[in-house]
Structure 1
Amino acid sequence: MVVLAVAVFVTLSSCALGCSGNMNPSELQSLKIQPAAVFKQMKNPQCEQTTLQQQQDALTQVNMKSLKQKTQSDFGTTLLTYGTSDEEEYDLRVSEEDSRRKSDPCFHYTVLDDAWRATNSTSKLRMCDRNVKWKGWYRLFYKGKSIQMPERCVPVNKCSTHAPLWLTGPHPKRRAGIVTRQVCGHWKKNCCAFKSSPIQVKKCLGNYYVYKFTKPVSCDLAYCADVNTLVCSRCRRNQSCVSRDKINWKCKTKKVIRRQVHFFASFPGQLSGKVNRIKYSKVLVNEGRAFSSRTGVFRAPVSGVYQFFFSTQTANAGQKTDLWLVVNGYWVAVSHTLVTRPSSVGSLATYMTFLRQGASVYVTHNCGKSWANAASMTITFGGSMLLQKK
């Protein structure tokens, strides 16, 4: 507080001196003795303006000293900013992003749209990329559509050249950045007869590639554009990309293999009381191999609509006999018999349902007594698939 008072006093005294015009030593001494005279001099408008200017200059110097220096690191570049605002920091980030894009080949490449480079091209021209002055990065197109280099051997005299150049390694993933790949030229039944100079490749956001081509080792060699990557990328889910000569490709609808599923089995003996799962040991039909005589369980090999039937024969008067069809653990249909007088009664039940692949179906003997022999075929279980679903 004492220092502040002194500073204010000195400032005011200087202002009073400057605003009063000519002041002799006695007057100055009077000002030092009588501070009230100083405040009186400040009433002068000119003195007041000068004082305010001095205070503003002092505040400016204090603010300049209090500015904080901070370091920002973005894209590997260190920036020093002094009290920057949010707008200035945003401008710096945008500037760094622009700098990054300037060095990224994904944003700076030359379009190479030569139809003769296509792997299905059989032009009589004999092009040679050794005559091209390669500079920078290139992106391959075919008739205005993005395409990429082949990753397998291309037949001789394709791509309008003698020895077509292809990429010996796979295209990189985007996180791999820029990679180096070997390039080979096919000639005289040797897919890598010409080991050309390596090139650089990068995958870009947007699922396309850029290449830094170099001059081939000799003529006639030329870089190829794989039309397979253009055609097969348009195939639907139910289609596959096929080719007879591995050069001309097309989308072809996949053939759905219709499976035949039929089975018929019998139990050549007697059943009494509760049998959790009847193991039909005599299997007469098992088209599709979906029924197991060891377990007595049918498992749907494919999704579709199935129809089942099961039967029994009983002869005990006053006793009911129930057989249940069990699908995925649920009892869904019953074959029921009840004999009221001494006689033999048979029963047959059917059931149709939709099953997903892997569904299980079997028959359980819940109560009563069933009989059969090797010739009678009275305790039976069978079914067929009526409609196959995709």
Structure 2
Amino acid sequence: MNLVKMVVLAVAVFVMLSSCAVGYSGSTNSTELNVWSMENQPMAEQLAAVFKEMESLKCEQTTLWKQQKALTQMQNTSQEKRAEEEVAGTHVLSYGPMKMNDDEEDLDLSEEDLRRRGDPCYHYTILDQAWRATNATTKFKVCDRHSKWKGWYRLFYKGMSLQMPERCVPVDKCGTHSPLWLAGPHPKMKDGIVTRRVCGHWKKNCCAFKSTPIQVKKCKGNYYVYKFTQPSACYLAYCADVNTIVCGRCSRDQTCVSRDKINWRCKRNRRKFSKKIHFFASYPDQLSGKVNRIKYSKVLVNVGRAFNRRTGVFKAPVNGIYQFFFSTQTGRTGAKTDLWLVVNRYWVAVSHTHVSRPSTVGSLSMYMTFLRRGAIVYVTHNCGRSWANSASTTITFGGSLLVQMR
């Protein structure tokens, strides 16, 4: 066997060992064929080609070894992080798939999803630590001043949702010396995010420590999220009131209430019935010329008592969408008669008639609008002549509340 064949055999053995060392699954055929194709070349060029292939294989082996080491480190880091979270008793909630880029993500998001993106009710950390319970006493005391608070948190006790106490907690409870409680009521849904004082009990003084205020928000489902801050001193820690576990079981149409802040119960919310507003009135006489405000004295319907027969004015009792109608009838040849609907002193709609030959003509107009509570509506007779008598309902004014709004 000549020198070139011996070197090629050595290269093949080197490649096989490299494959075992790094899990490389490639074949050595291409290398061997590449070397043998140069058999008729001078010895120096053949050796140079062999050493070039060897250097290339060494580089590939080093690269694969680095990749394997990086994957191992990533796996170990992930395992360590999960272990730390289990020890600390906290679990971070995440929603939706992994974000690839802003453009792709926004294409699949609705307006509701975009709103929820910044809502702390959908982005919080679960804080499930049994030692925070108001009935817990531990040998080793904890100080939340050492915690690195970030973002919003939701309190749990052994997997059950609960909230901070709204009353003074005895000393040495909640796994600390001075338990922190919420010095104020929890907010309602309509309140949004509020700021509340936090007090720490010590030496028979329920608010011996006035800690840094926190933010609180009520969420759908009868639970609260808190934006905790570092307390003012040690040893202070935030409490979780075990008496409020029942609140997490309340349905959507219930509210968790308590008189003494110790015994809590679910109370069904009162249903808010939409206010009913309907009126229909007529003017039982003739009108001529300009009348600033028609006083419809014959009131046939006045549900909700929002129409005043003495003044002829309708006053909106609630915010909402209203619909009005008004009519006239004229019988004078060549006369033009206009009735205008006036809303908050603005002329907004007209009921117009024009008689070109001996006859009587009636006109009915309708108008729909949103009104705030206290808005006034009436009808003015701007010109012409309108006909009616005590038995007819030709000059009329009426309306209804269609939808009540906040």
* TM-score, structure 1 normalization: 0.45
* TM-score, structure 2 normalization: 0.44
Larger radius of gyration: 1
